[in-house]
A and B are shown apart, each in its own frame.
Chain A
């Protein structure tokens, strides 16, 4: 499988304001303080869309914007985007199920249009005025690895940049069994098939039988984001924060794993 260069990294998660904060915390996990995800919505969205947008769309857009902070305004408008989520949005599913369980069913139009799995992709394209292609993928607990493979395939198909955004968040209590995330986590990687900005690289990809090793249970970050498939990116993000050569394993389908080498810039 072919190499990718990393051109930008974004994070928006419970207790982690952005990538700069997350990178410091990954280098010194003892400093991690669990807490809510950052508030607010990307300023670039029109006010009506900001009011209507659902929680995973909000987290995904903030992480995506964070990955592009080094780029000029408008850069996102031409970058294809890939959104991945293992569980979708429980904060939309719960009111939808409540409405559907009434004797007379009345669904809110906003809940319905936010219930599509590609809602984060839709809001992002509206926010950035991006007419570039986007896709939205689920591969259960292997969603992040599936997204990374899609990013690699797309970057090499176009020879250009692709933005990968992963998001999962806790489900409300009544439907907790359908979404296992302990805390909200969204991250974004801008990847490039070329080497134009000389960033860190992913190389020597392989799908290997056998599950990815669980993070040490002593790691406060791994514990805080247990059950969150987007947080499966943490070992990759840690390698990027450390800036050291590392072989990383990410959970994929049916007890297999995606292995790749992270090379520092």
Chain B
């Protein structure tokens, strides 16, 4: 008997694997990585690979939103237009009222790229001052993309942006669950949007965490991450009749270091245990774990230890970061939705680019996508500042 849950009524996903569910699903199924060699015209060269959404440059903001044009908002807009998502939200608005639907969006850089490029144009003198893009708070602010999504979807309920580094858009599920339980709203749109920016690309470079090749999660030769961009949204309703539901969320803090995980993965393990307890299931009930699996040397070791302490060594696990890159503030929603798709389709996505699993790691890593009966699965997200979140989803009908 599976406990009551929040039903995933509709969803949409866009990243380097494709625009919308059909394209993303096909890429995951075929085991094709969406990564490409760094090719950003607006950035100085960097010896790394990225998960870029190829069509963002051609996207135009919808009428009335030109003033908040940014790479992040274009990505949000592109994503919202896919998979009938806006229509599904409109139907939910008709059912509940626009003021009864909450909005919870994760991001780490919001529209910051616009600020970075404006600053760069000024200081490098590449453009005359009059032609330089201007700094705009409405574009830069951490809440800017959430505000755009709220207006675009016509929502008037509670809304917040969660920015906890790479766990941001996993934690949106926990916040939505609490807000519905507290009676602040009856349904929720959750999501994450994070686009490529100089600060994250060169910031991770400063920590020597970028791989010069496509990232290889849990592989013996892994040597760093590939940064990606992406967006995803889900509509959650209690008893909403969806095929898959959110069963439980677990959150914890490492209390260890700002940018390194606890070496034993203690915080990560605590988040997984909390999620299992919240879902009312034990570790043996989990058929598949979508790993955070960034492909950094230290992160994968810490997560592997956490997985082993909670699950032992036999639970099937994979990281999909080799497909999408690490989409940072969008990683939580991206991998939650991949986990939901795995449950809906009864299949496990592989760990693309991982040719040989590190023998020092003890988890059962699924390298090649394969069909498998699944009932309950977990998705892990861990971020800087020691912010951990694990989500448990299950087939509910």
Assess whether A117 is interfacial by the CB under 8 Å rule. Answer: yes
Q: Which residues of B contact A (CB under 8 A)?
A: 44, 99, 108, 115-116, 119-120, 122-124, 135-137, 140-143, 146-147, 150, 156, 158-165, 171, 175, 177-179, 181-184, 198-199, 202-207, 251-259, 266-267, 270, 274, 383-387
Which residue of chain B lies nearest to A141 when distances are taken between CB atoms in the complex?
Answer: B143
Expressed in whole angstroms, the minimum distance between the Cβ of A150 and any Cβ of chain B is: 7
Using an 8 Å CB-CB cutoff, how does the interface string of A137-148 with B read, 1 for contact, 0 for none? Answer: 111100100100
Interface centre among B116, B119, B207, B256 (most CB of A within 10 A): B119
Instruction: Tell me if B253 and A138 are in contact (CB < 8 A).
Output: no
- From A256, which residue of chain B is reached at the shortest CB distance? B156
Contact of B175 among A97, A103, A143, A150 (CB under 8 A): A150
Q: How far is the CB of A5 from chain B (nearest CB, A)?
A: 16
Flag if A177 contacts B135 (CB, 8 Å).
yes
Inter-chain contact B158/A149, CB cutoff 8 Å: yes
Q: Give A121's nearest chain B residue, CB to CB.
A: B385
**Shortest distance in angstroms between B252's beta carbon and chain A's nearest beta carbon?**
6
Q: Quick check: A1 and B183 within 8 Å, CB to CB?
A: yes
- CB of B34 to closest CB in A, whole Å: 25
A131 & B253 in contact (Cβ 8 Å cutoff): yes
Residues of A166-213 at the interface with B, using a CB-CB cut-off of 8 Å, are 175, 177-180, 207
For A15, the chain B residues whose CB sits under 8 A away are none
Give Cα A175–Cα B206 distance, bound, in whole angstroms: 23
B207 A129 Cβ-Cβ under 8 A:
no
Chain A residues within CB distance 8 Å of chain B: 1-2, 49, 52, 77, 85-88, 96-109, 112-119, 121-123, 125-126, 128-140, 143, 146, 149-150, 152-154, 156-157, 175, 177-180, 207, 253-254
Q: List 11 A-B contacts (CB under 8 A).
A: A96-B199, A100-B202, A107-B202, A125-B253, A140-B141, A140-B143, A153-B175, A157-B177, A178-B140, A180-B137, A253-B150
Once A119-B385, A135-B162 are accepted as A-B contacts, the answer to whether A113 and B258 lie under 8 Å apart by CB is yes
B68 CB to nearest chain A CB (Å): 12
- Say whether B255 contacts A129, CB under 8 Å: yes
- Contact between A137 and B161 (Cβ–Cβ < 8 Å)? yes
Inter-chain CA distance A128–B44, complex, in Å, is 40
Query: Is B386 a contact partner of A139 (Cβ separation < 8 A)?
Result: no
Number of A-B contacts (CB under 8 A): 201
Contact call B199/A115, Cβ cutoff below 8 A: yes
Q: A100-B198, A113-B384, A134-B253 are in contact. Are A207 and B158 (CB under 8 A)?
A: yes
Apart from A131-B253, A136-B162: 7 A-B pairs, beta carbons within 8 A: A85-B142, A102-B123, A103-B44, A123-B258, A133-B253, A139-B159, A178-B141
| Given A103-B124, A125-B385, A175-B135, A113-B119 contact (CB < 8 Å) | no
- A residues within 8 A CB of B257? 126
Residues of chain B contacted by A114 (CB below 8 angstroms):
258
In the complex, what residues of A have CB within 8 A of residue B150's CB? 253-254
Chain A residue with the shortest CB-CB distance to B389: A133
Of the candidates A86, A102, A157, the one having the most CB atoms from chain B within 10 angstroms of its own CB is A157
Q: What is the minimal beta-carbon distance from A78 to any residue of chain B, in angstroms? A: 11
A154 touches B253 (CB 8 A): no
Given the known inter-chain contacts A118-B385, A118-B387, please indicate yes or no for A105 contacting B202, CB distance below 8 A: yes
Verify B119–A121 contact, CB threshold 8 A.
Answer: no
Chain B residues with CB below 8 A from A177, complex form: 135-137
Q: Point out the residues of chain A lying under 8 angstroms from B140, CB to CB.
A: 178
Max count, chain B CB within 10 A of own CB: residue among A128, A129, A139: A139
Q: Is the CB of B184 within 8 A of A122?
A: no
The 5 closest A-B pairs by CB, nearest first: A122-B385, A133-B251, A117-B163, A112-B203, A101-B123
Q: Known A2-B182, A118-B163, A139-B143; judge A107-B255 contact (CB<8 A).
A: no
B119 with A140: CB separation less than 8 A = no
Report chain B residues within 8 Å CB of A129. Answer: 255
Residues A131 and B267 in contact in the complex (CB < 8 Å), given A117-B164, A139-B160: yes
A98, A113, A116, A138: most-surrounded residue (chain B CB, <10 A): A116
A107 to B252, Cβ gap below 8 A?
A: no
| Residues of A with C-beta under 8 A to B205 | 107
Report if A138-B163 is in contact (Cβ < 8 Å); known contacts: A100-B119, A119-B258, A175-B135: yes
Across the interface, do A136 and B163 meet the contact criterion of CB distance under 8 Å?
yes
Q: Which of A113, A121, A131, A178 contacts B137 (CB 8 A)?
A: A178
CB distance from A65 to the nearest CB of B (A): 15
Contact between B160 and A146, CB atoms less than 8 A apart: yes
A214–chain B nearest beta-carbon distance, Å = 19
Q: State the CA gap A77–B266 with chains docked (Å).
A: 15
CB distance B202 to A109 under 8 Å?
no
Nearest-neighbour CB distance to chain B for A196, whole angstroms, equals 20
B204 contacts across to A, CB distance below 8 A? 112
A158 and chain B: residue at smallest CB distance? B178
